Amino acid sequence: MHCLRCGRAIEPGQKSVALYMFAQTVGVKPRQKSTAHRISFCPQCSVSLAMGPAPEGALNVAAWDMIRDLVAGDPALNRAAWESLNGVVGLLPATGTEGRSRTSQAEGYFEF
């Protein structure tokens, strides 16, 4: 499962927003129903989409409205987005100096 917007992998049980979509005939016999599709968005993209301007296209606007409902309804999704953003920032070195100092130590070793 991947986020439709950024392509990031979403593991089972990981925080995300899932949109389920299926089509069904109405007033037509026999009644037909398409297979259900699941579309996922990571918390960051969900919040980003909800905060952004309305997209183009009736289906996109319908999905955007639903995501906005979730983001506006409770701060839990915003918190999840903030936590994963914080996690990504924590993995990156604050500056490039950490890597550079390690290299100079290695050079020092070889010089001795």
Point out which span in 3-11, 60-68, 73-81, 88-96 binds Zn ion (CB under 5 A).
3-11
Member of 2, 6, 76, 88 binding Zn ion (CB under 5 A): 6
Member of 10, 17, 45, 67 binding Zn ion (CB under 5 A): 45
- CA angle at 76 for the pair 70 and 79, rounded to the nearest 5°: 120
In whole angstroms, the minimum distance from the beta carbon of 95 to Zn ion comes to 27
Rounded-to-integer distance, Cα 109 and Cα 86, Å: 35
State the residue for tokens 């917007």. 5
Q: What's the farthest any 2 CA atoms get from each other in the chain?
A: 86
In whole angstroms, the minimum distance from the beta carbon of 43 to Zn ion comes to 8
Q: How do beta strands 17-21 and 37-41 pair?
A: antiparallel
CB distance 43 to 18 below 8 Å: no
Point out which span in 4-12, 49-57, 61-69, 76-84 binds Zn ion (CB under 5 A).
4-12
42 interacts with Zn ion by CB under 5 A? yes
**Where do contacts with Zn ion occur on this chain (CB under 5 A)?**
3, 5-6, 8, 42, 45
